[in-house]
Amino acid sequence: MSGTGALMTVHVGQCGNQLAQAFWKSMVDEHGINERGQTTHEDDMNDKKDLLFYQADDDHYVPRAVLVDLEPRVINGMMQSPNFSNLFNTDNIFMSDHGGGAGNNWASGYCQGQEVQEKIMDIIIREAENTNNLDGILFTHSVSGGTGSGTGSLLLERLREAFPKKVIQTYSVFANSDTSTDVVVHPYNWVLSMQRLIENPDHVVVLDNAALHRLAAGKFKTDTPTFDHINSLVARIMSTSTAPYRFNSAMCPSIRYLDLAPFPPMHFIQSAISPVVDPNENFTRKTSVADVTRFLLKPTSMMVSTASRVRPNDCMLSAYMFLQGQIEAHTIMTAEQNVDFAIRRPPFYMLKPLRMMHAPLSPYVRPQYKVSGLLLNNSTSVAPLFESLLSKYDKLRSKRAFIDKFEKIDNFSLDMMDDAMHIVQDLLDEYKAVVQKDYLTRGL
Ligand SMILES: Nc1nc2c(ncn2[C@@H]2O[C@H](COP(=O)(O)OP(=O)(O)OP(=O)(O)O)[C@@H](O)[C@H]2O)c(=O)[nH]1
């Protein structure tokens, strides 16, 4: 593969593995592969299946994916489903012998992870060594339960150690703080995970379940969107953002060229997709580049609930817009100029020009719409979400609410929690400093 290496995925916990199902379902469809890993179409020259799949000795395609959970339900369910039972390499699955999960407790997930980390890392390193040119790792998990957050945190530390030069990009699901039914100790789990998200990956795509839920409720014509609805949106983000590498784009042939985090550790990325369509509905709209870009740049389109409350000094540190469909090169250039003009005025300021690129479509699947897009946006407008979660953490921590559940875990100390809180606070201060500083290009 010239200029392009391979990617592998690591999925941890219930949410991480449910996202794996949505993502890999769209990957097999987009690469013309059936549930046995066999090709369903004559190969297209732009289809780089080997970016995410390897070929077994009998030539069938196998996802370069590692599935990890401390309880077996979700992965077993996947292995029994007709779509996946013959697709994944079962040697790439780790399920704990205890089988009880981490009880929504980061400390339990982290400490159980310490006992089994070598086994999991052996799987990941073997899989990485199976490709001679790994560019990066995509990692899916939730930061509010116990396994995805706790074991996920430990694995992120170990991945960074084992792959110091590879791009690590997480898709991290934040709890839906609008619903009382979600995990009550999620602010603790979040703070502890955030420390590892600040310290280890190159990019963290922040997926706020509250925003995803609202978007899905509006678009899927249901008041009670399911995780299937929500995960289909996340799969769109993951598939569009990897489309340039998977389908031979000259503009961005590898995740290594994605310059989304010019000021680390401010590497928390918001995303928006357009159009959002219920696949079971007749699509009657006419899409255009102008229409799609306008929607993507609306603060309310971001998959982060607090981003819709625009603050006058917010600024985009780096952003990429991926457009897909039947689009002429000159249309992208005109759109780029229009967008460039729009984002130099409130509510958008940019430190770097927004980069637009044409992300090729799968040669085998035709969407219902002609033009679609994805925005990956590294903006200071993510900070209010962190501020709100930190204040939820402070409220629980000051009352020592549920703290006994964490204290009773061997090898866990409350200092770990307090240290993590300071690291998150430092990140927030960095965001605030950017917002206040006059090096922003706004004629100050
Ligand atoms: N978007 C999305 N969120 C999910 C999904 N499954 C669970 N969540 C959210 O993830 C959080 C809980 O994390 P889980 O992934 O269920 O838990 P876990 O990481 O397996 O940890 P334990 O259950 O404690 O072992 C809650 O905020 C849920 O709302 C999913 O499929 N999609």
CA distances 82 to 34, 40, 85, Å, are 11, 16, 6
What's the confidence (pLDDT) of residue 132?
A: 81
Quote the radius of gyration of the chain (alpha carbons, Å): 21
Higher pLDDT, residue 67 or 280? 67
pLDDT tens digit string along 194-216? 999 999 999 999 999 999 998 99
Q: Are 51 and 245 in contact (CB under 8 A)?
A: yes
CA distances 93 to 89, 132, 146, 233, 347, Å, are 8, 22, 18, 25, 45
Q: Are 327 and 357 in contact (CB under 8 A)?
A: no
148 marked as binding residue: yes
Residue from 12, 15, 238 to probe ligand 1 pocket by mutation (most atoms less than 8 Å from CB)? 15
Q: Kindly give the number of the ligand 1 atom that is closest to the alpha carbon of 149.
A: 19
Q: Kindly give the number of the ligand 1 atom that is closest to the alpha carbon of 234.
A: 1
pLDDT band at 282 (very low <50, low <70, confident <90, very high): confident
pLDDT tens digit string along 226-244? 999 999 999 999 999 999 9
pLDDT tens digit string along 312-338? 778 889 999 999 988 887 887 787 777
Higher pLDDT, residue 272 or 282? 272
- Residue 220 Cα to ligand 1 midpoint, Å, equals 21
* CA pair distance 138, 163, nearest whole angstrom: 13
- Residue 16 Cα to ligand 1 midpoint, Å, equals 7
293 marked as binding residue: no
Question: Residue ranges of the domains in the chain?
Answer: 6-264
H helix and E strand count, the chain = 12, 12
Q: Which residues' Cβ are closer than 6 Å to ligand 1? A: 13-15, 18, 70-71, 101-104, 142, 144-148, 173, 175-176, 182-183, 209, 227, 230-231
pLDDT band at 1 (very low <50, low <70, confident <90, very high): very low
* Percent of the chain residues past pLDDT 90, beyond the cut: 67
Q: Hey, whose CA ends up nearest to atom 13 of ligand 1?
A: 145
pLDDT tens digit string along 54-105? 999 999 999 999 999 999 999 999 999 999 999 999 999 999 977 789 999 9
103 marked as binding residue: no
Mean pLDDT of the chain: 90
288 marked as binding residue: no
Higher pLDDT, residue 25 or 335? 25
* CA pair distance 396, 419, nearest whole angstrom: 16
Taking 90 as the threshold, does the pLDDT of residue 420 lie above it? yes
Taking 80 as the threshold, does the pLDDT of residue 396 lie above it? yes
Higher pLDDT, residue 251 or 345? 251
Residue from 142, 205, 389 to probe ligand 1 pocket by mutation (most atoms less than 8 Å from CB)? 142
Dihedral angle, C-alpha 11, 13, 18, 23, nearest 10 °: -10
Taking 50 as the threshold, does the pLDDT of residue 266 lie above it? yes
Q: Hey, whose CA ends up nearest to atom 30 of ligand 1?
A: 15
- The least confident of 137-151, 184-198, 274-288 is 274-288
- Residue 355 Cα to ligand 1 midpoint, Å, equals 33
Helix (H), strand (E), coil (C) string for 226-242: CHHHHHHHHHHHHHHHH
* Percent of the chain residues past pLDDT 70, beyond the cut: 93
152 marked as binding residue: no
Q: Which residues pair with 141 in a beta bridge?
A: 172
- Residue 78 Cα to ligand 1 midpoint, Å, equals 16
Taking 60 as the threshold, does the pLDDT of residue 443 lie above it? no
Q: Helix, strand, or coil here: 300?
A: helix
What's the confidence (pLDDT) of residue 316?
A: 87
pLDDT band at 375 (very low <50, low <70, confident <90, very high): very high
- The secondary structure element, H or E, covering residue 173 is strand 167-174
- Residue 303 Cα to ligand 1 midpoint, Å, equals 17
- Residue 300 Cα to ligand 1 midpoint, Å, equals 24
Single-letter code of the amino acid located at 333: M
Spell 400-424 as b/e; 16+ CB within 10 A means b.
eeeeeebeebeebeeebbeebbeeb
147 marked as binding residue: yes
Q: Give the mean pLDDT of 339-352.
A: 63
* pTM (global) more than 0.90: yes
What's the confidence (pLDDT) of residue 442?
A: 46
Taking 50 as the threshold, does the pLDDT of residue 438 lie above it? no
* CA pair distance 142, 193, nearest whole angstrom: 9
What's the confidence (pLDDT) of residue 343?
A: 63
- Residue 128 Cα to ligand 1 midpoint, Å, equals 26
Taking 50 as the threshold, does the pLDDT of residue 274 lie above it? yes
Give the residue carrying structure tokens 């989304």.
Answer: 260
Q: Is the ipTM of this complex over 0.90?
A: yes
In CATH, the architecture of 6-264 is: 3-Layer(aba) Sandwich (3.40)
26 marked as binding residue: no
* CA pair distance 363, 32, nearest whole angstrom: 9
Taking 60 as the threshold, does the pLDDT of residue 44 lie above it? yes
Q: Kindly give the number of the ligand 1 atom that is closest to the alpha carbon of 150.
A: 19
Q: Kindly give the number of the ligand 1 atom that is closest to the alpha carbon of 152.
A: 19
* CA pair distance 399, 407, nearest whole angstrom: 14
Length of the chain: 444
- Residue 148 Cα to ligand 1 midpoint, Å, equals 7
